[in-house]
Amino acid sequence: MTNQDILTALRPDHDFFVGIDSDGCAFDTMEIKQKECFCPNFIKFWGFQPVSSITRQTWEFVNLYSKHRGVNRFLAVIETFKLLAERTEIKERNFRMPDISSLIEWTHHETRLGNPVLEAYAAEVNDPGIDLALSWSKKVNEDIGQMVYGIPPFPFVRECLEKLKGKADMMVASQTPIEALRREWEEHDIDRFIRLIAGQEFGTKSEHLNYAAKGKYADTKILMIGDAPGDLKAARNNGVLFYPINPGSEVQSWERFYQEGIDRFLSQTYIGEYQDKLIIDFEKLLPEKPNWV
């Protein structure tokens, strides 16, 4: 059975469905993963040591402080390369940007942007650029496994899951590798609330919602919870509801969801003015362009 088949096979136990992002949304793991695992290896593997401070600033903007926050890791590499190539400091130092054209080409025809698919592709094409991207991604996973533990979910996450239990089918919809997702949700005993954990190996978040929920529940009874514009995009692509976990105000966002959002969702008074105001405020938080432009 393929991962798509697993999503498609999910059958409703309740009238409502909730998809939940993990990193930066349910767990306060974005900063440690990006700053301690992703970025140092990005600098090391692609040889950005001569411009490391500029590279770190750019990587963190893309992955933490911009509208690209939460994007798939390989797409984050491409976006960081794009911004670095445009930076004056890179040109002033005569730094020669590495070639990632083969990685870009792979992302153009593949949606399951994870290590298993990339590994199979690497064996097929025998391309140094693809091999490098795969080695980087594997090392990131290794470092996350060694470093990221003991980080509980944000306050009110567990309370929200308890409140939704018995009323909604819940699924993790994330671009994190499934192995890390299972480890983190099991470590804190909140996987028991979830019907299914879908990571990057299952495709995009839009595909997660489409295959697992779309057409099985009324659109107004499907809710995506996330902290990044990609989560909002996944909801909009499927014509379903979105609840934002605002970066920098995660605890307040989860408390608001517990106190009022869940009740509005279940009573079908969420859509309209209430949701619109939340999304307007959310979209103001993360800029599209960096402040150095």
State the average pLDDT for the chain: 96
The residue type at 146: Q
Banded model confidence at residue 112, pLDDT cuts 50, 70, 90: confident
How far apart (Å, rounded) are the C-alpha atoms in residues 238 and 244?
Answer: 16
How do residues 231-272 score in pLDDT, each as one tens digit?
A: 999 999 999 999 999 999 999 999 999 999 999 999 999 999
Q: Looking at domain 3-29+154-283, what is its CATH homologous superfamily?
A: HAD superfamily/HAD-like (3.40.50.1000)
Contacts (Cβ under 8 Å, ≥6 apart) of 193:
161, 162, 164, 165, 170
Q: Which residue has the tokens 């909604």?
A: 168
Contact yes or no for 169/17 (Cβ under 8 A): yes
pLDDT tens by residue, 156-174:
999 999 999 999 999 999 9
Could you tell me the two tokens for 237?
């692509």
Q: What is the pTM of this model?
A: 0.90
pLDDT at 111 over 90: no
Domain with CATH 3.40.50.1000 in the chain: 3-29+154-283
Give bridge partners of residue 225 from the DSSP assignment. 20, 243
**pLDDT one-digit tens code per residue, 190-213:** 999 999 999 989 999 999 999 999
Q: What are the C-alpha distances in Å from 260 to residues 107, 128, 275?
A: 40, 52, 12
Q: What is the largest CA-CA distance in the chain?
A: 60
